[in-house]
Structure 1
Amino acid sequence: MSEKAIVVYSGGMDSFTVLNTAIKEGLEVHAISFNYGQKHSKELVVAAQVCRDLGVSHKVVDITAINSLMANSSLTGEADIPEGHYQDNNMKSTVVPNRNMILLSMAIAYAVNLEASKVYYGAHSGDHHIYPDCRPEFVAAMNAVSLIANYQAVDIVTPFLQASKGDILNAGLQMGLDYRHTWTCYNGREKSCGKCGACIERLEAFAEQGQIDPLIYEA
């Protein structure tokens, strides 16, 4: 019987690559996605379709009841999504307070319930500047807690923690992944905006790899 693993799966290109990495490692993968009131909830639709296509168990958890606790973020509140690069100070408005601690805690509980030994998530070096809950020190601390919080120890696995977005894309391309089946834009419109930090970083990753992003953009 294969070892079980939970993958925190947003539907974006990072978690898409992580999901497929875990599958290729021979693990019995169970994907979990969260609706926390994000404007770009289109990512959940994309995630569900990918899991159906792959035949992967997929649970979508509605935690929108806590949205009012995190409404100061432009991803969950009334403020407009900022435009520009992640290095720009205005991108701090996209930080959702305590998001990864909340999501990982629930993923760990799911892992214990299914007797899975690992929880995978897609933190990477491009997020370190703007998102504290994607930094190595957060991952190390969260993993230390995860190993002692239950009778069953659960490892938090971040295969791309020190990798760039371009590195992640390259790994996925080497696996033959099709990134049409992902959603990155922070605006949940029909097409990607091409101007938010998430879009800019994605486009730069494709350019770095000498590839054309298969998604359609407004601009």
Structure 2
Amino acid sequence: MAEKVVVIYSGGMDSFTVLNRALKDGKQVYALTFDYGQRHVKEISCAQTVCSNLGIPHKVINISAINELLAGSSLTDDIDIPQGHYEADNMKSTVVPNRNMILLSLAVGYAVSVGASQVYYGAHSGDHAIYPDCRPEFVLKMNEVCKIANYESVEIFSPYLEVNKSAILTDGMTMGLDYSNTWTCYNGREKACGKCGACQERLEAFADNKVSDPIDYE
């Protein structure tokens, strides 16, 4: 029987690649998506479509009530989404306080309940400059804790931790993935803005791989 894993699946291109990497690795995947009140809620509908098409178990968990505690992020508060390069200092406004520690803790709890040995998590090197909870030292410490937090040891596995978005897309292309059902833009509009840091990093990845992004931009 295939090893069970939980994949934190936002609906973005990174977690979409992670999801398919887990399937390619022969894992029995349980996809987990969090609604934490993010304005780019369109990513959740993308996740639902993909999981339905793949026929894999998928839970969407509403944890938006935590925003009563976690203030100050432009992803969840009434603060303008910054424009500019992904690693620009102004992108720090998109940090949601303690988000990944919370999401990983919930995912590990789910993993224990379904008998999964790993939680797949889509952090990558392009996140390191702005997001402390995507850096290798954070993943290492969370991994150490999650191996002893329960009677059952659960590993935090980040297959793309040391590579950037362009390399993630390269791997996805080798798997023949279609990125039309992914969403990256931080603005919650019908089309991607093409100007926020998330959009710019995505567009750079497609340009680096010399392919066209299949989603629509304003």
Normalised TM-score (structure 2): 0.99
**2:180 is matched with which residue?**
180
User: What is the rounded CA distance, in whole Å, between the counterparts of 1:87 and 1:22 in structure 2?
Assistant: 28
Q: CA deviation at 1:8?
A: 0.2
User: What is the rounded CA distance, in whole Å, between the counterparts of 2:74 and 2:47 in structure 1?
Assistant: 22
Q: Deviations over 1:9-67 (max 9, x none)?
A: 00000000000000011110000000000000110000000000000100000001111
**2:203 is matched with which residue?**
203
Q: CA deviation at 1:69?
A: 1.5
Q: Deviations over 1:165-218 (max 9, x none)?
A: 000000000000001010000011110000000000000000000111111100
- The count of residues paired between Structure 1 and Structure 2 equals 218
**1:126 is matched with which residue?**
126
Residues 80-89 or 146-155, more deviating: 80-89
User: What is the rounded CA distance, in whole Å, between the counterparts of 1:87 and 1:15 in structure 2?
Assistant: 19
Q: What percentage of residue pairs aligned between the two structures are identical?
A: 65
Instruction: State how 1:73-152 maps to structure 2 within 5 Å.
Output: 73-152=73-152
**1:191 is matched with which residue?**
191
Q: CA deviation at 1:88?
A: 1.3
**1:5 is matched with which residue?**
5
**Structure 1 runs, 4 residues or longer, greater than 4 Å off:** none
User: What is the rounded CA distance, in whole Å, between the counterparts of 1:47 and 1:12 in structure 2?
Assistant: 8
**1:19 is matched with which residue?**
19
User: What is the rounded CA distance, in whole Å, between the counterparts of 2:208 and 2:107 in structure 1?
Assistant: 33
- Residue segments in structure 1 that go unaligned for 5+ positions in a row: none
Q: Deviations over 1:44-95 (max 9, x none)?
A: 0000000000001000000011112122100000101010112211100000
Q: Which amino acid aligns with 1:164?
A: N
* Mapped pair 1:161 → 2:168: no
User: What is the rounded CA distance, in whole Å, between the counterparts of 1:12 and 1:194 in structure 2?
Assistant: 15
User: What is the rounded CA distance, in whole Å, between the counterparts of 2:87 and 2:35 in structure 1?
Assistant: 27
RMSD value, Cα:
0.5
- Residue segments in structure 2 that go unaligned for 5+ positions in a row: none
**2:39 is matched with which residue?**
39
User: What is the rounded CA distance, in whole Å, between the counterparts of 2:41 and 2:56 in structure 1?
Assistant: 20
User: What is the rounded CA distance, in whole Å, between the counterparts of 1:83 and 1:158 in structure 2?
Assistant: 28
User: What is the rounded CA distance, in whole Å, between the counterparts of 1:69 and 1:90 in structure 2?
Assistant: 22
Q: Which amino acid aligns with 1:130?
A: I
User: What is the rounded CA distance, in whole Å, between the counterparts of 1:71 and 1:7 in structure 2?
Assistant: 26
Per the alignment, in what secondary structure is the counterpart of residue 30 of structure 1? strand
User: What is the rounded CA distance, in whole Å, between the counterparts of 1:88 and 1:17 in structure 2?
Assistant: 25
Per the alignment, in what secondary structure is the counterpart of residue 22 of structure 1? helix
Q: Which amino acid aligns with 1:61?
A: I
